[in-house]
Amino acid sequence: MRSRVTMVLAVVAVLLGGVLLVPTAYARLAGDGAADNGGSGGGSVAAPAPTPPPPPTLAAAPVSVNYSGEFFSWALMDRATGKISGSKNMSSTSSTESMIKAWIVSDYLRQLGDKEPPADMLKAASLAIRDSNDDAANKVYRAAGGSYAAPAGGQPGPVIKRAISICGLTDTKRGNVPKYEGWWSFTRMSPRDAVRLGDCIADGKAAGQKWTKWVLDEMSKVRGSVTQQQATSGGGKWGIVDGLPAEIKAQGPVSIKNGWTRLAYDGNWHVNCLAVTGKWSLAVMLRYPAEKPLSYGAKVCASVTTQLVTPQPGAALKVPQQPVGKL
């Protein structure tokens, strides 16, 4: 009986002690707040400022496209880490078409070293990129050491060989379409190699120290909408750039080079989109029925790009927990 009475008294003592301690603790906290607020007695804790989202960029993410065609593949390189992500078939190849012109110009200019090219050659190099002019690209290709003869031994010609060795390409091969094997446009390249090529141009290995900035600047000035088509030039500013939000474009130049040809031998459009910035390199490569318009391929390139933007447009700010009020 005594032990029970002792236990009850102990519990009562603990409860009374707690009641007495709470006002004391409150008084201390209130007193601290009063001191912090010049004696006003209304202490509070300031809410931390919301954390803004990081600047938008492109990053690996699932991509879903309602696509109807023979070939669809894409790859994205994080240029800070060198990591490449993309579709499961990103090592599969398709013909480069005019996308390879950025390399042809870079290869020619790098070989000059510190020399200045003749004025007509520099103009041709510019037209090959800005307007995707085939005649201008052919002129630069020959000056770089290219030939239209079928390469011997199943090997690519010297211009493409240098792309493979200098840029570390692993999937790129010479064209395999009869009668066109030595043509630069039929070079087979994967999206994985295409983003390596974009990175190679941007980091200076392709064109060399003197000419890299010039090449990237020309690529940022590609002109002509998807509807502005001519027989051998025109219409290269579309695709990836159409899928980028203004916030990414405002971060710095976006250098691009697209390739597109409606080919009779397989009845397909061969469409390629390449873009590179200081942060990433992105390539989308397609083959789809010639009955569809070029704008179809341009929209697929834009759609892939938009899905890789992070944070997505409209993403909410990280809001902290509710601030603590008066104590």
Distance CA 13, CA 21 (A): 12
State the pLDDT at residue 42.
Answer: 54
Please tell me the predicted confidence (pLDDT) of residue 327.
23
Higher pLDDT, 158 or 230: 158
What confidence score (pLDDT) does residue 44 get? 65
Instruction: List pLDDT tens digits, range 285-323.
Output: 999 999 999 999 999 999 999 999 999 766 543 333 333
Find all residues with CB under 8 Å of 131, minimum gap 6, and list them.
Answer: 223, 224, 233, 234, 236
Q: What residues have CB less than 8 Å from 182, skipping those under 6 apart?
A: 147, 148, 149, 150, 151, 157, 174, 175
Summarised one tens digit per residue, pLDDT across range 145-184 is 999 988 888 899 999 999 999 999 999 999 999 999 989 9
Helix axes 134-143, 119-130, angle to 10 degrees: 130
pLDDT tens figures, 111-122: 999 999 999 999
Q: What is the pLDDT of residue 322?
A: 31
Q: Which of 86-95, 124-133, 177-186, 308-317 has the lowest mean pLDDT?
A: 308-317
Q: Where does residue 222 rank: exposed (0-12), middle (13-18), buried (19+ CB within 10 A)?
A: buried
| pLDDT-based confidence at residue 230 (cuts at 50, 70, 90) | confident
Q: Is the pLDDT of residue 326 over 80?
A: no
**Residue range 64-79: mean pLDDT, rounded:** 97
pTM for the model: 0.81
Q: What are phi and psi of 285, to 5 degrees?
A: -130, 135
Mean confidence (pLDDT) of the chain: 86
Please report, as a single letter, which amino acid is at residue 80: A
